Structure 1
Amino acid sequence: MRSAGYYEALGLTPYWFAHVIHNVVDEPRSYMRGLHDILGEDGRGTNLCDPFPKWSNLHMFISAIFESIIHEPTEEGMGTFRMFLKLIGAPKDWFEDIENEGPGEIVFSELYDEGRNRLVEEIFHILFRDVVLLERFNTIVASYISDFGSDLESNDDRFTVKGNLRRVAVPRFVQDAIYFRDGGECRSCKKAIDRILSPAARERYDHIIPLAQGGANDITNMQLLCESCNSTKGSKLTRVSSLFPRIYQL
């Protein structure tokens, strides 16, 4: 059975977690303190500025939200954690430990890391197709990147003298993922961008939140545009299209 390029569903209701992420991104003011802990602290915050990591900004965000849920001293939080431990095949004594100590040292184990990362990847693949959500998420991220960029005393070579992230080459894995997600068509005008059928076609990988507006060099901040739409947009902040193709017509 072919397995390369696939991930195995863990089975911990990933759509419930995806809904939680939606709520946080839709109402960021309600979670401002938590968002600052996730996106503003030096350890995580500076990682927002790294150029096109495979463990994207959204991966990091999902992981942090998951951690916050299982550390909640509520029955819902503990119930979620117990279900998670059961799915990853945790030893029986772990269940006794969390009743007395909460997550404790368990979160530093390799088994926990592997299970959490599997769940994060599953949730990521659900959310990655929702480009409207990604736009809102990257708007939040941009405010933190702008704060980092305004502190030019750090001499961070990831930034320009204007305090924006430098433009870097878009890696092939990002191009392939964006082209596939957007169905080989311009997200703005819906023109097909197919070099086989149209040799003159040129795909452009555009920052949804422009670098000039604090945007990140991150796979979640990219969309496929045709050459014309990309030239028209330039460095302006333009809303992404909320139109998605139907699988079939009713």
Structure 2
Amino acid sequence: MLHDFILDYIVGYIEFELNDAVGNDDCGREIIEWCQEYSIELMTVEQYNESAGIADDAEDGPDMFEYNFTYLREVAIQELAPQIQIEVFNLLYADRCFLIEFNKLIANDIKDMMKEDYPFLLKRDGVVNRATYWPAWLKRALFCREKGLCAICKTDLSSLHHTTGKTAIDHMVPLNLGGVNDATNLQLLCEPCNLSKLGDEIVTTNLHPTFW
């Protein structure tokens, strides 16, 4: 869900920047600079106009409106936005406190949903069904994000030097509070922290191990 949220925001920003695509050189300059930064090749205005069959006005110069609002908009949404989306997601996914606030917003909508309207999604009104399994890619992602430590008490869960590193995948915003099974709402806990965490309790930390 965070992927979709980020992409929607980026596309909205691109649309806003190019919405007033008037015929001047400054319009779309920021988008063009971003494309250059991400090594996205762009046609020049002249090249685009020629390919689109648009005749240049000798007095007023090339037609910037079509270039900005049609060509540049399409390139930015199709090629630029997905690259920015990945970078932003990787930054935000490492911040569990942000993820909790993000999932609280989602929970506000979930709590108003009725089981009769979403029988395959909800266990009861305002509570989604619990996931029956977690895919291997998700477990690896959580382990890497937590750096092999319990998200709350920082117990080593790697089992490299002992056999007590039992892990549990926990909903940061509990299902009982409108939480979802999305990857952004999950954290890796040691068994004691998971057993002591109540079903109506939102707990995490943003502590990180020091380098020295």
Alignment deviations for residues 189-226 of structure 1 (CA, whole Å, 9 cap, x no partner): 11111233222321111111111111121111111111
**Offset at 1:172?**
1.1
CA distance in structure 2 between the aligned counterparts of 1:164 and 1:83, rounded to whole angstroms: 45
Relative distance call for 1:194 and 1:107 in structure 2 (3 A) is same
Whole-angstrom CA distance in 2 between matches of 1:145 and 1:103: 37
5+ unaligned residues in a row in structure 1: which ranges? 1-56
Asked if residue 171 in structure 1 is aligned to residue 121 in structure 2, the reply is no
Indicate the SS of the match to 1:206.
strand
What residue number does 1:40 align with? none
Task: Give the structure with the higher percent helix.
Answer: 1
Q: Which residue identity lines up with residue 70 of structure 1 in the other structure?
A: I
1:124 aligns with 2:89: yes
1:160 is paired with a residue of what secondary structure? strand
Report deviation, 1:152: 3.0
Q: Deviations over 1:101-123 (max 9, x none)?
A: 554465556x8424321221121
Secondary structure of the 2:188 match is strand
Q: Which residue pairs with 2:30 in the alignment?
A: 80
Amino acid across the alignment from 1:68: G
Give the structure 2 partner of residue 191 of structure 1. Answer: 155
Specify which of 175, 178, 186 is matched with residue 211 of structure 1.
175
Alignment map for 1:90-169 (pairs within 5 Å): 90-93=42-45, 99-101=64-66, 102-104=68-70, 107=73, 112-147=77-112, 150-168=113-131, 169=133
Distance 2:42 2:99 in 1: 33
Number of residue pairs the alignment of both structures matches? 189
The one-character-per-residue Cα deviations of 1:72-121 (angstroms, maximum 9, x if unpaired) are: 24799934322234342122249879941554465556x84243212211
Distance 2:130 2:157 in 1: 23
**Cα distance in 1, alignment partners of residues 167 and 148 from structure 2:** 8
Find the aligned partners of 2:63 and 2:13 in 1 and give their Cα distance.
Answer: 14
| TM-score with structure 2 setting the length | 0.76
Kept in 2, the 8 Å contact 1:70–1:78? The answer is no
Alignment partners' CA distance in 1, 2:40 and 2:138: 30
Q: Secondary structure at the match of 1:152?
A: coil
CA offset at residue 166 of structure 1? 0.8
Q: Give 2:42's aligned amino acid.
A: A
Report the residue type matching 1:171 in the other structure: P
> Which structure would you say has the larger RCO, counting Cα contacts within 8 Å and 6 or more residues apart?
1
Q: In 1, Cα distance between the equivalents of 2:78 and 2:195?
A: 43
Q: Is the 8 A contact 1:70 1:103 kept in 2?
A: no
User: What residue is the counterpart of 1:12 in the other structure?
Assistant: none
Give the structure with higher Rg (CA): 2
* In structure 1, C-alpha distance between the alignment counterparts of 2:202 and 2:126, rounded to whole Å: 21
Shift in alpha-carbon separation, 1:98–1:204, aligned structure 2, 3 A: farther
Match of 1:11 in 2: none
